[in-house]
Chain A
């Protein structure tokens, strides 16, 4: 399934939601998780994931810590208090959008 175009707008929401549920995650873990949940239907590209993470980090929605794992540095992302506040907004925004989308795409005219 080609999802890149559609994902673009909701990438942030997905990341926020995942972090909301998992406390802290590193980049590769996020891509794995998305694949896992969607059973491989959606795969995040690195080219889209990291710029989005860095942007949210710069905006103060995310923060990071590093840990040494297997002789290399691993960077974990987690939500800041500000991030936590935003999650619900974002998720409900996305939900209402999907509902609207469904309405539009269902092709069952309400007034008929």
Chain B
């Protein structure tokens, strides 16, 4: 019989739907048609019969419906199991409350829908809020549940990682029967996703409230979706991807970096013949797309709205934001019209593109939260993005120094001029007012691709030291490239990469020393090549919880997987490498980091570690292939099972077991308790000046979320130059009354009094601060100096300040007790030690003057020295904060941290401070350790002062509490300095045996460290010079102390240790 075209097509569809590959399809199709053509005319082919025949007779060449269904079911179940397993790990190790760094800010901002730092993360804040609500009104549990949100996001990312690996695996191995290859696909999925689940960097962000967990989830889902698109060919996936991309802007820009790899996937699937030119074109269009979203949509669209608003407000006299609303409406109408037009002319891709654009914008619209909430003026309202203009500068991260990318200055360049650009605007009464110009300095020494540009304090020395440049030597282009490859890429990317997949030395922040924060393998001969002797490692490495040795197994397995993948599917391997590059090294290129970063930055590159975990997954299959080759006559499934077990033990299990102790943050309340103790250092209604991250964010958290001590007003000096921040200080906040600030808004508006130079007017006597303030705020041109650009600015005529003190006022306000009156000075005099005053300084002057001692004034302890306005001589420790008290200046040469307001501090330490969290915590992170050390320093100073003041009982109590609750473990030689004071105090308090013990323990630690240094080769030893000096100093002092308290045995013991070291040194 002759078959009709229609019949043939039907048969083709049936066969194609289940054939495992093209060969199988051709053979079956030919067979069935040949068979039918041989049959008599009368027999009509039936759909069901053909389907049945395909499934039964050709079962080896097809995946039956049941088999496919089974595969999908198993795939889904295993994905969910990965989710559950990861969530289990994260839930067990999750921090139960606020963590250090930005977490306190994020938790507060999410709980109260406030505005965090640039460029904002509105979607993250909103989702965190949803998780926070699970606390069901228990304020102490809000942080717990927002952290749980990060754990859920991370676990979900693990699930999508599993599905991503199985999708890729299925594509590569799809030519065989699914039933047969499914175990291999799933083995790859399990190993890859579990390895990533317990990898250092990802684990870190999974157990605290940071944006990186959710950001990785967006990356994971987006990449998975493009693979789904590839498999199904349905363009709806592209629309969903556009929507998710828009949403991800509201989490972190990192997720945009998937776009170039998406563009490669599209290219590979659409092109008939892959060529290098084509790949390049696809790659470049992907990059352009990233730039379009990052600049075109995120920034210029908002800038266009701002310009429209300027037109509406200033020219048409309409209210603020009217222009922006009109712009949004117009843009909406334009897109709608465009879509209709595309339909009319039947242009598919224009239509698809516009739909994608509108969904992307819909996702991006989460930023309305920022502008709406900024207008509500919440307690945390950083940069106050309440108009389209301020939102634009917020989105373009104007507060951060911009690193030059293509052409720029070197670190030793001199400024030759200034380049002024576009106007900046502030919101006036009814109109926008020009607040200034964006200006950029011009330099005399520039180069292409500048990598050593930073002129911040200490950076030039660091560059010179790293590059081996002399004092006056100018860096060449090759130095520039050397810094790029060795420091920016080597130290600030590959080091982190190897932490995750080879091993990590310890959690000390690395700056280049061979014993701080390096990557290691744990294979000693290998590590010793880079890091020197590894056989007698010091306790600062071996006793550190983050001393994690993976023996590079994950790295090797990942490379094996990449090799396996590349041999089978070059295109997929290339796509993944593209994603790996963009989420890793491309960020390094873009950030152009300067040295001496405040913390380790591994979290930014977690996306590339994610990609590497995909490779690790496929590594299993290379191990299987090797096993099958090596072990004679092993059945292939047994080989797979063996490979799976080997990889499971050597990679995820090893990583998890090594990493568990340093990632286990369960029971860690150090950040929360520190915030409580900090606020409890302050008397009621205090004003507390702080500066930046770790001093401020935990305090925000404890006040905003847990409503603890909201009577204290925390003033973060970092934000005090922002007019809107000063506005907020002038308002009631929770239980804290408005701050005493006399300036009107127009006196400190944006662009006004940002910078007031010191001009020496040769004034002999100190000038009252209130007079300084009136000069600074004076509107008269007589009180101003002419600046180089012709404008007039207020200035500082002197740097010798004073404040006359009304002693009775101090007693009335309980600043001091009546019996301290005699110690008060009648005039507080000091030198302001900066070359200029900023708006923040002016605001602080105003607060000091206007407050007139009514509210107690405190300064944070761990902030830079210019924070104190030069008032150091009048600062007294009352716990974790210095209180400003106008006592007579003591001529004892003591540092402010050694001066305690002893009775008050004693009462705070004994009655108000809770140090319990230190001992409950399984693993103290570097920040907690820093606080523990500070606590020891302060308490030792208090004990010493109490002894001097003749209060030994109080001193002994403080010592007892400290010894009971504060950890004493030494992590570095630096830490032993704190022990020195402890030992001295213990001897002074007649607790001799305890003192001896401490001295011997400390001696043991230092000896361990110095012994290690002594076996280093001469040239390496030089880099330890400060450690050597410090260690010997501490030992020497301990020996002398012991001798002074007649502990000859201890003293000579330490001396002996020193001598034996001395011989080696």
Residues of A within 8 A of B (CB): 26-29, 32, 45-47, 50-51, 54, 66, 69-70, 72-75
Contacts and interface: CB of A to CB of B under 8 A. Distances in A.
B56 interface: yes
B38 A32 contact: yes
A39 B56 CA distance: 25
Given A66-B26, A70-B33, A73-B26, 15 more contacts: A26-B30, A27-B30, A28-B30, A28-B31, A28-B34, A46-B53, A46-B57, A47-B59, A47-B60, A50-B58, A50-B61, A72-B30, A73-B29, A73-B30, A74-B30
A32 B38 CA distance: 10
A72 B29 contact: yes
Q: Which of B27, B53, B57, B60 has the largest count of A CB atoms less than 10 A from its CB?
A: B27
The 10 closest A-B pairs by CB, nearest first: A73-B26, A28-B34, A46-B57, A47-B57, A28-B31, A51-B60, A74-B30, A75-B27, A27-B31, A72-B30
A72 B33 contact: yes
B35 A75 contact: no
B439 interface: no
A71 B35 CA distance: 16
B31 A46 contact: yes
A75 B21 CA distance: 14
Interface string B41-60: 00000000000010011111
Contacts of B33: 70, 72
A41 B589 CA distance: 75
A27 B38 contact: no
Contacts, number: 43
B30 A50 contact: no
Contacts of A26: 30, 34
B749 to A, nearest CB: 78
Nearest to A66: B26
Contacts of A66: 26
A45 B30 CA distance: 15
Given A28-B31, A28-B34, A32-B38, A72 B57 contact: no
A75 B26 contact: yes
Of B31, B35, B38, B59, the most chain A CB neighbours within 10 A belong to B31
A92 to B, nearest CB: 29
B31 A45 contact: no
A54 B31 contact: no
A32 B34 CA distance: 10
A72 B26 contact: yes
Most buried by B among A27, A45, A46: A46
A70 B26 CA distance: 13
Contacts of A28: 30-31, 34-35
A47 B56 contact: yes
A51 B20 CA distance: 14
Contact of A75 (B30, B57, B58, B60): B30
Nearest to A29: B34
B676 to A, nearest CB: 72
B993 interface: no
Contacts of A70: 33
Contacts of A29: 34
22 contacts: A26-B30, A26-B34, A27-B27, A28-B31, A29-B34, A32-B38, A45-B57, A46-B53, A46-B57, A46-B58, A47-B56, A47-B57, A47-B58, A50-B27, A50-B58, A69-B30, A70-B33, A72-B26, A72-B30, A73-B29, A74-B30, A75-B26
A29 B33 CA distance: 12
B23 interface: yes
Nearest to B23: A75
Contacts of A74: 26, 30
B61 to A, nearest CB: 6
B60 A50 contact: yes
A81 B893 CA distance: 100
Interface in B1-46: 23, 26-27, 29-31, 33-35, 38
Contacts of B31: 27-28, 46
Nearest to B54: A46
A26 B33 CA distance: 13
A68 B53 CA distance: 24
A23 to B, nearest CB: 18
A47 B219 CA distance: 45
Nearest to A70: B33
A72 B9 CA distance: 12
A14 to B, nearest CB: 18
Listed residue (A26, A29, A50) with the most chain B CB atoms within 10 angstroms of its CB? A50
B5 to A, nearest CB: 10
Contacts of B26: 66, 72-75
Nearest to B34: A28
Contacts of B27: 27, 50, 75
B181 to A, nearest CB: 16
Nearest to B29: A72
B346 to A, nearest CB: 31
A105 B27 CA distance: 40
Nearest to B37: A70
B38 to A, nearest CB: 7
Max chain B C-beta neighbours (<10 A), residue from A28, A54, A75 = A28
B372 to A, nearest CB: 63
A32 B26 CA distance: 19
A32 B23 CA distance: 21
A108 to B, nearest CB: 41
B39 to A, nearest CB: 12
Nearest to A71: B8
B151 to A, nearest CB: 48
Nearest to B58: A46
B180 to A, nearest CB: 13
A72 B30 CA distance: 7
A51 to B, nearest CB: 5
Nearest to A46: B57
Contacts of B34: 26, 28-29
Nearest to A32: B38
Nearest to A75: B27
Contacts of A73: 26, 29-30
Nearest to A48: B57
